[in-house]
Amino acid sequence: MNEPAESAISLKAGSLTFIEVLATSIALIGPSMTPILIAPYMYALAGNGTWLAYVFGGTMLIFVALCINQFASRSSAAGSMYGYVAEHLGPAAGAVGGWTLLWAYGFVATAVLGAMALFVQGLLADVGLRAPSLIVVVVLAAIAWQAAYRGVQVSAIVMLVLELISVSVICVLVAIVLHAHGPSLDSNQLHVKGGFPGGIGFAIAFAVFSFVGFESATAFGAEAKRPLVTIPRAVIASVIFAAAFFVIATYAEIVGLAHLGKPLDKEQFPLQTLVTGYGLGYLAVPITVGAICSAFSVCLACVTTAGRITYAMARAGLFPPLFARIEPRHDTPNVAVTVVTATALTVAFGALAFGVAPIDIFDDCGTLSTFGFLLVYLLIAIGAVAYRKQLRELRTIDVAISSIAILLLLLAAVTLYYPVPAPPQRWFGYVFLAFVAVGSLWFRLKKASD
Domain that holds residue 285: 14-443
CATH number of the domain that 293 lies in?
1.20.1740.10
Residue 2 in any domain: the answer is no
Amino acid occupying residue 29: I
Residue 356 CB partners (closer than 8 Å, separation 6+): 364
| pLDDT means over runs of 10, the chain (450 residues) | 38 67 77 90 87 92 94 70 86 93 94 92 84 92 88 62 83 93 76 69 85 76 76 90 94 92 88 92 86 84 86 89 88 91 96 93 90 94 94 93 96 85 86 95 83
Cα–Cα distance between 54 and 35 in angstroms, integer?
12
Amino acid occupying residue 97: G
Contact (Cβ atoms closer than 8 angstroms) between residue 218 and residue 84: yes
Contact (Cβ atoms closer than 8 angstroms) between residue 183 and residue 45: no
Cα–Cα distance between 12 and 431 in angstroms, integer?
37
Cα–Cα distance between 89 and 438 in angstroms, integer?
20
Residue 4 in any domain: the answer is no
Residue 196 CB partners (closer than 8 Å, separation 6+): 44, 45
Nearest residue to 106 via CA among 375, 342, 333: 342
Residue 7 in any domain: the answer is no
Residue 448 in any domain: the answer is no
Cα–Cα distance between 370 and 421 in angstroms, integer?
15
Residue 6 in any domain: the answer is no
**pLDDT at residue 5 in the model:** 36
E strand or H helix that includes residue 219: none
pLDDT in tens, 100-141: 999 999 999 999 999 999 999 888 887 888 888 999 999 999
The tally of domains found in the chain comes to 1
Residue 269 to residues 118, 251, 286, 295, 360, Cα–Cα distance (Å): 11, 16, 14, 14, 14
**pLDDT at residue 197 in the model:** 64
Query: Roughly what angle, to the nearest 10 degrees, separates helices 91-125 and 358-390?
Result: 150
Contact (Cβ atoms closer than 8 angstroms) between residue 343 and residue 106: yes
Residue 450 in any domain: the answer is no
**pLDDT at residue 8 in the model:** 38
Residue 9 in any domain: the answer is no
pLDDT in tens, 285-303: 888 888 888 888 888 878 8
Residue 330 in any domain: the answer is yes
